[in-house]
Structure formats: structure tokens, C-alpha cells
């Protein structure tokens, strides 16, 4: 557990530094020279709140979470519906993801990092899952389909993709029969293809991804993609050095959150990127190790599911920056600017902390 915390701490610190690099340079470019921008202070405060969330969650007996897992699942479902109600949910850049005000808001979809692993742990623990009984898998998938659908309507294509992808990953690790798994993955793929072809805004994203450098009729969607590829390319092997990104000055629609990794790649190069990827992989391996050491099913499945979820999210974010996945807005776990995802991720990790502390799980 200590190793995980150390790795997460590195990511959190790098996230704040990167935020500083971007916002300080941007404000300098606007003629305001400041040493510490408000954005950096806010990010640091969020990290403090995240650490507090970790601490609180790790103090509970982890089985308490099993008791309320169901409640949390339905609660999240309800919030995802509420966020869609015009006038209640707050719309930012055309998608209705937020509850609350502009300065302090909650993005319910980001709670999936807790809800999905908890739901998996609740459904798949304590039961003998034989290959002929698919009921629990199906129940899980039905819930997931509901979440994915609600999140996609917001629309938050990226988070929907992470939820769907990690859920299939979870089914794989908990031991769903391979043929069952493969058929459901294919069905989901077909469903997604139909949805994309029906909804033009999603279609635009897909086509802009396929040919980002072509004269763009997609009205700026491919912009961030092109710029992110340029940024990454400019990094080279060793990077241009901290605070030396040039690309960040050029129009970057989501430069202060989902694309920080592009700036990171420009400043730290292939070596820096490989290091970050290694950290995520390492965190996953550590979580899997805690899981496989544990004999208690809930603890075991929760921990491995969280490992899968975080890894998929990191993969999606970096895949987008590298131009191998369609443009979506997924934060990089523990790294990207923005309060919600860091707090929820730290809380989710807190449950692992509780698991690691309990004797029956760590033997």
C-alpha cells in the first residue's frame, strides 16, 4: 500500500507542477506576471481534500462499503438522471455534466471510479460463480449499460467509454467465461457503432479522429487532436524541458485539463511519458498484488476492479493524446486539473487502504 501511495503522491505533485507550467506561462503571455496562479492554489487545495477523502475512507471497516454498495449504485444512477434535467444540471460547453455552481460543482459521472468497483465487488463476492450461471454477470452488465447510457446522453463520450471498457476488464479478471465475455463485448461494440452512427455529434468526433489533418469540417473538434499531436511530436526523446512547452500558447481548447498530458509530453519527451506510463502500470500491479494476496472475496474483487478502472482511464486519456483513440474528455487519474476526479479517485483508493489494514484481507 505504501508503494501505491508513494506513486500516487508523485502523480499528484506532477499534476500541480504541470498546472503551474501551463497557467503561469499563459498568464505571462497575457501580460500578467504572477508567481503562483489561482489555478495552482486550487489544484493544491483539491489535493488536500483528496488526501482527506483518502484518510476518511480508509478509517472505515471496508465491509461497511459492502453494506452500502447497492445504495451508492442507485444513488449515482439517480444523480446521473438529475444532472440531465435542464435547469438542475449545469451545462458546460454543451454537455450537461455538473451539479452545483461554477466555482464548486460536482460531476456525478466521476464517482463511477468508486461505484463500478463497489458494484462488482458486491455482485461477485461470496458467490460461487460457475460458468453456467451468468446471472450476476448479466446483472452487472445491465447496471453498467444504464450508467453508460446516462453518461453518454450528457454527452460525456469519454467517461462512458471508460465505464464500459473497465467493466469488461473487470468481467475478465473476476473470471467470466471467455466465450460469454467475448460475445458481450461484440454486442456492446455493435451497440456503440449504432449509437455513433445515429448521433451526429458523436459521428463528427469519430470522423475527425480518423483524419485530423484534413480540412476540418468538424468545427474545431480535431483542433485539439492536431495540436496535441504537434505538442507530443515537439517533445522528442528528452522533451523541451519544464515550462518550455510552446504548444500551450497556441489555441488549445481543453489545455487546462484533458490535454495536460500533451503538454507534459512536449516538456518531458518520450522518456517522461514512458515514466508516467510505468507509474500507472506499477500502481495497477500493486493493486493486483493486494487483491491476489487477499482471501476475502469482497476485498479481492474491489481491489482488482479498481486497478482495472484506473488503468483503463489512464489508457484512454493517453491514447487520445497519442492520437490512437477518438477525442474525448477523460481526466488522467491523479494528474489532470479538476477537483472531482481526484477526490473520487482518492476516496476509492481509501477503501483499498482500509482493505490493506484489515487482517483478513492482507493475509
Partner 1 sequence: MDKLQQAHQTRRLLAVTVLFTLLFAGIIARLYYLQVVKGSYYAGVADDNRLRIISTDAPRGEIRDRNGVVLATDVPSFDIVVTTYDLKNPEEELTVVAQLSGIKLATLQDVVKKAGVGPYSPITVARNVSKDVALKLAEREPDLPGIQLVMSTKRSYPLGTLAAHVLGYTGEISETQLQALRADGYVMKDTIGKDGIELQYESLLRGEKSEKLVEVDAEGKAIRTLQEQPAVPGQSLVLTIDSRLQKTCEDLLGNNKGAAIMMDPRNGELLALASAPAFDPNKFISGISDQDWKTWTAQGSLFDRAISASFPPASTFKVITGTAGLETHSITDRSIIYCGGGLTVGGRLFKCWIWPDAHGNEDIHKAYADSCDVYFWTVARLVGIESMDTYAKKFGLDKLTGIDLPGETTGFVPTPQWKLSKLNQPWYEGDTMNMGIGQGYVLETPIRDISIYSSIAMNGTLWRPHLLKASVDPVTKAETQTVPVVQDTLGVSTNTLNIVKKGLNLVTKTGGTARIQVGNIEICAKTGTAETGTPNLYHTWMVAFAPMDNPQIAVLLMYEDSPYQRSTSMAPLLRKMLAHYFDLYGGKNGSN
Contact 218, 208 (CB under 8 A): yes
Residue nearer to partner 1 on the CB measure, 311 or 336: 311
Closest separation in Å from C-beta 43 to partner 1:
21
Inter-CA distances, 257 with 215, 260, 279, Å: 26, 6, 20
SS3 content of the chain, % helix, strand, coil (to 5): 70, 5, 25
Q: How many CB atoms lie within 10 A of CB 97?
A: 25
Question: Quick one: CA dihedral 44, 48, 53, 55, positive or negative?
Answer: positive
Residue (of 112, 118, 109) closest to 82 by Cα position: 109
Contact 112, 147 (CB under 8 A): yes
Query: From residue 169 to residue 208, what is the string marking binding to partner 1 with x (rule CB under 8 A)?
Result: x--xxxx---------------------------------
Segment near partner 1 (CB under 8 A), from 137-145, 149-157, 211-219, 330-338?
A: 211-219
Residue nearer to partner 1 on the CB measure, 142 or 215: 215
**Is residue 265 near partner 1 by the rule CB under 8 A?**
yes
All residues at 6 or more sequence positions from 311 whose CB lies less than 8 Å from its CB, including other chains: 166, 169, 280, 281, 283, 284
Closest separation in Å from C-beta 271 to partner 1:
10
Segment near partner 1 (CB under 8 A), from 49-57, 61-69, 166-174, 343-351?
A: 166-174
**HSE-up (13 A, CA, CB side) for residue 262:** 28
Contact 160, 110 (CB under 8 A): no
User: The C-alpha cell of 85 is what?
Assistant: 434535467
User: The C-alpha cell of 29 is what?
Assistant: 503571455
**Is residue 251 near partner 1 by the rule CB under 8 A?**
yes
Closest separation in Å from C-beta 123 to partner 1:
13
Query: From residue 297 to residue 316, what is the string marking binding to partner 1 with x (rule CB under 8 A)?
Result: x--x---x---x--x---x-
**Is residue 254 near partner 1 by the rule CB under 8 A?**
no
**Is residue 29 near partner 1 by the rule CB under 8 A?**
yes
**Is residue 279 near partner 1 by the rule CB under 8 A?**
no
All residues at 6 or more sequence positions from 290 whose CB lies less than 8 Å from its CB, including other chains: 1, 303, 352, 355, 356, 361, 362
**Is residue 273 near partner 1 by the rule CB under 8 A?**
yes
Closest separation in Å from C-beta 273 to partner 1:
6
**Is residue 51 near partner 1 by the rule CB under 8 A?**
no
**Is residue 284 near partner 1 by the rule CB under 8 A?**
yes
CA dihedral of 158, 164, 167, 168, whole degrees rounded to 10: -120
Residue nearer to partner 1 on the CB measure, 10 or 226: 226
Segment near partner 1 (CB under 8 A), from 46-54, 63-71, 81-89, 318-326?
A: 318-326
Closest separation in Å from C-beta 312 to partner 1:
8
Closest separation in Å from C-beta 137 to partner 1:
13
Helix axes 112-124, 157-174, angle to 10 degrees: 30
Q: Which residues bind partner 1 (CB under 8 A)?
A: 26, 29-31, 125-129, 169, 172-175, 213, 215-216, 219-220, 222-223, 226, 229-237, 246-247, 249-251, 265, 269-270, 273-274, 277, 280-281, 284-285, 288, 291-292, 295, 297, 300, 304, 308, 311, 315, 318-319, 322-324
Amino acid at each position: 500500500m505504501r508503494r501505491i501511495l508513494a506513486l500516487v503522491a508523485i502523480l499528484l505533485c506532477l499534476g500541480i507542477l504541470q498546472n503551474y507550467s501551463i497557467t503561469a506561462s499563459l498568464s505571462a503571455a497575457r501580460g500578467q506576471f504572477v508567481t503562483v496562479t489561482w489555478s495552482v492554489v486550487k489544484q493544491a487545495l483539491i489535493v488536500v481534500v483528496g488526501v482527506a477523502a483518502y484518510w476518511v475512507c480508509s478509517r472505515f471497516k471496508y465491509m461497511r462499503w459492502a453494506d452500502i454498495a447497492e445504495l451508492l449504485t442507485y444513488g449515482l444512477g439517480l444523480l446521473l438522471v438529475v444532472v440531465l434535467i435542464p435547469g438542475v444540471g449545469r451545462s458546460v460547453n454543451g454537455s450537461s455534466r455538473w451539479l452545483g455552481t461554477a466555482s464548486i460543482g460536482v460531476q456525478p459521472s466521476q464517482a463511477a471510479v468508486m461505484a463500478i468497483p463497489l458494484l462488482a465487488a458486491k455482485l461477485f463476492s461470496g458467490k460461487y460463480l460457475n460458468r453456467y450461471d451468468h446471472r450476476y454477470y448479466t446483472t452487472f452488465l445491465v447496471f453498467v449499460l444504464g450508467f453508460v447510457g446516462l453518461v453518454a446522453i450528457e454527452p460525456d463520450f469519454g467517461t462512458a467509454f471508460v465505464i464500459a471498457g473497465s467493466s469488461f476488464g473487470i468481467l475478465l479478471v473476476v473470471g467470466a467465461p471467455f466465450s460469454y465475455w467475448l460475445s458481450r463485448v461484440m454486442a456492446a461494440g455493435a451497440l456503440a457503432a449504432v449509437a455513433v452512427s445515429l448521433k451526429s455529434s458523436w459521428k463528427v468526433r469519430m470522423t475527425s479522429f480518423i483524419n485530423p489533418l484534413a480540412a476540418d469540417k468538424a468545427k474545431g473538434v480535431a483542433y485539439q487532436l492536431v495540436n496535441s499531436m504537434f505538442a507530443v511530436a515537439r517533445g522528442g526523446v528528452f522533451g523541451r524541458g519544464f515550462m518550455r512547452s510552446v504548444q500551450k500558447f497556441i489555441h488549445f481548447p481543453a489545455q487546462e485539463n484533458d490535454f495536460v498530458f500533451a503538454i507534459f509530453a512536449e516538456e518531458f519527451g518520450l522518456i517522461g511519458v514512458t515514466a508516467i506510463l510505468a507509474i500507472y502500470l506499477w500502481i495497477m500491479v500493486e493493486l493486483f498484488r493486494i487483491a491476489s494476496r487477499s482471501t476475502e472475496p469482497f476485498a479481492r474483487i474491489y481491489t482488482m476492479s479498481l486497478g482495472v478502472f484506473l488503468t483503463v482511464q489512464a489508457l484512454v486519456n493517453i491514447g487520445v493524446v497519442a492520437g490512437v483513440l477518438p477525442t474525448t474528455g477523460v481526466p488522467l487519474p491523479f494528474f489532470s486539473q479538476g477537483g472531482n476526479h481526484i477526490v473520487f479517485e482518492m476516496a476509492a483508493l481509501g477503501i483499498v487502504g482500509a482493505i490493506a489494514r484489515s487482517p483478513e484481507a492482507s493475509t
